[in-house]
Structure 1
Amino acid sequence: MNLESLLEKKTGFTTFKTGQKEIMEDVIAKKDVIALLPTGGGKSICYQIPGYVMEGTVLIVSPLLSLMEDQVQQFKANGEKSVVAINSFLSFSERERLLQLDLSTYKYIFLSPEMLQVEKWVRKLQNIKVALFVIDEAHCVSQWGHDFRTDYLKLGAVKDSLGHPPCLALTATATTTVINDIQEYLNIQSPAFHVFSLDRPNIAMKVEMFRSNREKNERLLELVNSLRSPGIVFFSSRSKVEEISEYLQENGVERVAYYHAGLSQEQRILIQQQYIHDQLDVICCTSAFGMGINKSNINYCIHYHQPTQLESYVQEIGRAGRGGDASIAILLKSKEDNTLPGFILDMELPDFEWVSTVTNDILETYGTIQHISIIPVKEWMEKFPEQESHWRFLVFHLEKYIESNGSLDQNKKSNFLRMIDEQIKNRTAYKMGKLAYMNDWTEVVTCRREMMLAYFGETLQRAPSNCCDVCGLDLNEFTHYTHADEKKGETETWGKLLKNIFWQEE
């Protein structure tokens, strides 16, 4: 069966999007592949279809629990039942039950990078034939791995322990530095590269400046009431997510909800499903929402807070216009929030004083440390109640130092602390450089799209008619409903959804 026939049989699509077929052909040929497709480019199909051709199980490393659940539901809606997500959404008894099963009965297994550091799961996976090792949203290896999710940097070793299966690294945004990190930390020697433009000509871009958050709130209310729904409003603060969601509701905006990682898993799943099925018009959320969400009719993305880097901004606005319709991304920037991005970056890494204090206490308690397992990390986290991400950072660098130097003791302490201080300073400077570019982008007096593409090493070939506010755009084109828009926005009934799941015609 050729790939086109398989695509139609398994997904209902009759043609491939740009780059999909070429990526699949290299994957099926058992090549390591690094692929950059724009958001909405159909990355999941690049491993779903090869899974039907290749012998064995496809392992997919996915960064967010909500994304994993959404991907599993997409597979099941397309008729694929041999799929499972192994993550903390499962109860202890459910995870133990899975450990007793033959995992080779699943064609697709989704896991978090942290789950792949649990020895019993790695041993379980070593008993099955892994046909393909997929890293979804692979830019996280670089953007998150160095700072607060260091388990990403260990995925190359995990892959090798599973018998060196072919690797597919997928992302929608990556600079040359990020691509190099992906290749290095996944132990990919000679990959096939499939890098396509991340430009989304159907997304217009606009930045609006304000003196105060009061002005910004009023403008947000005006935009939400006038722009075609559905839409997303992104925030950098959980408390602000809830506050502005309440503000919109109090001022007459209906069908609005908020979403962030502090909600229970049941709440998150419910809200995500309500939004996907057009039962909500507006989501106020942190970046935890929407990565990989399969919703084609999002018409706008508004950023209430400025992201800390252009990669994040491009990722997030990419939720809009996935069906190809004209959509708009608007960043609202007030002077009151000018210091927030820098504060967020400061919080992502531990300060040197904290690292020094914890290291001193650990050495006084255990003396010479030859393996990190001697330290009951959970107990020490309770003793020094800092963010969990700071502990991950410290433990990762302790492991690296001990691996290179054989042990850590009082005599080697100063060398270790000097090394980790240098690491913190270098990473902070690197991220502050990205923030500076993001700040410059918000204030640019030339084409925003051109500057955005230049950051990723691309050249703008032709500006769309509604390009950006600097080039000129007509906001009215994003505020007027047509009869077709209203028809398209009708809420799907559960009867229709069930018919789609079971491939029944109307």
Structure 2
Amino acid sequence: MKINLQSALKNEFGFDSFRPGQETILKNLFSHKNTLAILPTGGGKTLLYQMYGALSRQRVMIVSPLISLMQDQVSRLQYLGSKRVVALTSALDYQEKAVILKHLNQYQFIYASPEMLANEQVLRQIKSLNIGLFVIDEAHCISEWGPDFRPDYLNLGKVRHALGNPLTLMMTATATKTVRQDIIDHLDLESTSVEQIVLPVNRPNIFLSAKILSGQQEKDQTLIDLVRQLHGPGIIYFSSKSKAEQAAVTLSSQTDRRVMAYHGGMDTQQRFHIQQQFMDGNLDIVCATSAFGMGIDKDDIRFVIHYHLPANIQSYVQEIGRCGRDQQPGLAILLYEPNDRYLQMNLIDNTIPDRNLLQYLYQHPKALTNEDQFRVIKYYYDHGYSFDQATAVFDHSRERRLSELTAMVRYVYHDGCRRDELLKYFDETLSEDQKNSAFCCDHDIDFWGHWQNFNDKYLKQSEKSVEYRPQSWHEVIDKLFLLKN
């Protein structure tokens, strides 16, 4: 099929040019080549399968990790004019799910989580369809979450085979060489049969900074001082749901900013409401756990603050990449106090079962349930892993997570260029003439001595962040569903 992609981009989607990597990836897909695409946050990954589906008229199956992300993408596709789009999520009640499954052949774009695809009834219905493109969105989750958190990610290779080995597109914003190989292996693909399009993770318009604080009290006060003065919308990330809520209350009362919390413990409607408030400019700051951000297409976020230490550099780069998507200056701040490392170590211990618990459950398999705490162990037991094999899997996961945490702490204490330290993790380098020493990291300038000046100079609010409210219903819709890409 001969397609003029540039012409189609303009006529079908209204864009004058592709972003880096997009056209090459689409050419691969139209040449029926399985493709692994590593595009930076804001690089326009969603357009790839939207455009392929629109031009090929084939059915597209998208595996996505979060309900909020699926709902957001379904809304965007509907806004762009596609009515044949649906998300199979746990938010559906029994009757809604039954109706959708009965009429599944009427949809062109079908979203589902790995857990939903593990449901025999759902997979049976999808198998009856002709899937033209199988998409794994946020594909790094296969490697990062599969072994010890969401094991159904490890079944996606079998799902792909069950669907007749359709053309496959794997997408994420960050992935090391090891993670890329993990993705390919778990989808039962051969490296030689996968085209890899890997763009640099460097975002030169994001200034990198970190501050080591003496304790919790100093950290809290620093956060209040920053929020009082930093310009523009921002996201503050926490490892704790309760701390996110507590901080939102504190910042709302002690600053003039409009702040709300967002985390996975909230119900779907509440999360969606907060997300739309933020997108529409009716909220200035969201205090969030990592549940917030995937798929958020708000281009004028000016800063991302990490109140707690992220689990790894890969997650950190993904999360700070949510600011400055309009290519204007953005600011990444990591606040650290020594106890933060132990919080992450506790999270690792609580996530990965120890040998004694594993041994007890293997000896008493009736105690295994689908509850969160035992779900992962049950997966390995049901799939025929011996006790020693399961122990080896979890030991490896623990070692990997501790190694990733060590790299994250090393970044905080690094006394050289922070950008170099981040890029080294992804086997990337920058030459000196590729750097802008005036806008790189707090190693090059005295950021913490003059951060207010930096704020006034670089973090300028876009017009839509100031006191602007759309008037016509067209503008209201555009504000609610910002056109992706």
Identify whether the pair has TM-score above 0.5, normalized to the shorter chain.
yes
Contact conserved, 1:150 with 1:393, CA < 8 A, in 2?
Answer: yes
User: Equivalents in 1 of 2:91, 2:109: separation in Å?
Assistant: 17
Residues 492/477 of structure 1: CA separation in 2 closer, same or farther (3 Å cut): farther
Aligned match for 2:415, one of 445, 459, 462: 445
For residues 273-422 of structure 1, the aligned pairs below 5 Å read 273-362=276-365, 380-381=369-370, 388=372, 390-401=373-384, 416-422=386-392
Alignment of 1:423 onto 2:425: no
Partner residue, 1:105: 106
Residues 491/203 of structure 1: CA separation in 2 closer, same or farther (3 Å cut): farther
Aligned partner of 1:159: which letter?
Answer: R
Compare 20-29 and 250-259 and name the one that shifted more: 250-259
Aligned match for 2:435, one of 451, 454, 463: 463
Give the superposition deviation at 1:500: 7.7
Compare 337-346 and 433-442 and name the one that shifted more: 337-346
Aligned partner of 1:437: which letter?
Answer: A
TM-score normalised over the length of structure 1: 0.89
3-state DSSP of counterpart to 2:383: helix
Contact conserved, 1:36 with 1:172, CA < 8 A, in 2?
Answer: yes
Give the superposition deviation at 1:14: 1.5
Partner residue, 2:135: 134
Partner residue, 1:236: 239
User: Equivalents in 2 of 1:453, 1:483: separation in Å?
Assistant: 27
Partner residue, 2:156: 155
User: Equivalents in 1 of 2:176, 2:186: separation in Å?
Assistant: 16
Question: May I ask how many residue pairs the two structures share in their alignment?
Answer: 469
Give the superposition deviation at 1:491: 4.0
For residues 155-194 of structure 1, the aligned pairs below 5 Å read 155-189=156-190, 190-194=193-197
User: Equivalents in 1 of 2:465, 2:480: separation in Å?
Assistant: 19
Residues 192/231 of structure 1: CA separation in 2 closer, same or farther (3 Å cut): same
3-state DSSP of counterpart to 2:200: coil
Aligned match for 1:215, one of 206, 215, 218: 218
Aligned partner of 1:446: which letter?
Answer: G
| Deviation per residue, 1:284-327 (Å, 9 max, x gap) | 00000011211101000000001111001001101101111100
3-state DSSP of counterpart to 2:111: strand
Aligned partner of 1:212: which letter?
Answer: G
Residues 492/483 of structure 1: CA separation in 2 closer, same or farther (3 Å cut): farther
User: Equivalents in 2 of 1:235, 1:499: separation in Å?
Assistant: 30
Partner residue, 1:405: none
Give the superposition deviation at 1:396: 2.2
| Deviation per residue, 1:51-75 (Å, 9 max, x gap) | 1222421001001111111111222
Identity of paired residues, percent?
38
Which segments of 5 or more consecutive residues in structure 1 lack a partner in the other structure?
366-374, 382-386, 403-415
Residues 500/449 of structure 1: CA separation in 2 closer, same or farther (3 Å cut): closer
Give the superposition deviation at 1:253: 3.3
Partner residue, 1:255: 258
Give the superposition deviation at 1:336: 3.6
3-state DSSP of counterpart to 1:459: coil
Compare 131-140 and 466-475 and name the one that shifted more: 466-475
Contact conserved, 1:300 with 1:329, CA < 8 A, in 2?
Answer: yes
Partner residue, 2:249: 246
3-state DSSP of counterpart to 1:263: coil
TM-score normalised over the length of structure 2: 0.92
Partner residue, 1:498: 477
User: Equivalents in 1 of 2:413, 2:458: separation in Å?
Assistant: 31
Contact conserved, 1:226 with 1:479, CA < 8 A, in 2?
Answer: no
Aligned match for 2:402, one of 416, 432, 448: 432
Partner residue, 2:26: 24
Residues 479/339 of structure 1: CA separation in 2 closer, same or farther (3 Å cut): farther
User: Equivalents in 2 of 1:140, 1:482: separation in Å?
Assistant: 32
Aligned partner of 1:37: which letter?
Answer: L
Aligned partner of 1:463: which letter?
Answer: K
Partner residue, 1:122: 123
Aligned partner of 1:145: which letter?
Answer: G
Give the superposition deviation at 1:485: 3.0
Give the superposition deviation at 1:328: 0.3
Give the superposition deviation at 1:335: 2.7
CA RMSD of aligned residues (A): 2.1
Residues 131/468 of structure 1: CA separation in 2 closer, same or farther (3 Å cut): same
Give the superposition deviation at 1:423: 2.1
User: Equivalents in 1 of 2:323, 2:51: separation in Å?
Assistant: 25
| Deviation per residue, 1:181-202 (Å, 9 max, x gap) | 0000011221011011010000
User: Equivalents in 2 of 1:500, 1:219: separation in Å?
Assistant: 32
Aligned partner of 2:454: which letter?
Answer: E
Residues 483/121 of structure 1: CA separation in 2 closer, same or farther (3 Å cut): closer
Compare 84-93 and 235-244 and name the one that shifted more: 84-93
3-state DSSP of counterpart to 1:244: helix
Which segments of 5 or more consecutive residues in structure 2 lack a partner in the other structure?
none
Aligned partner of 1:226: which letter?
Answer: Q
Compare 105-114 and 161-170 and name the one that shifted more: 105-114
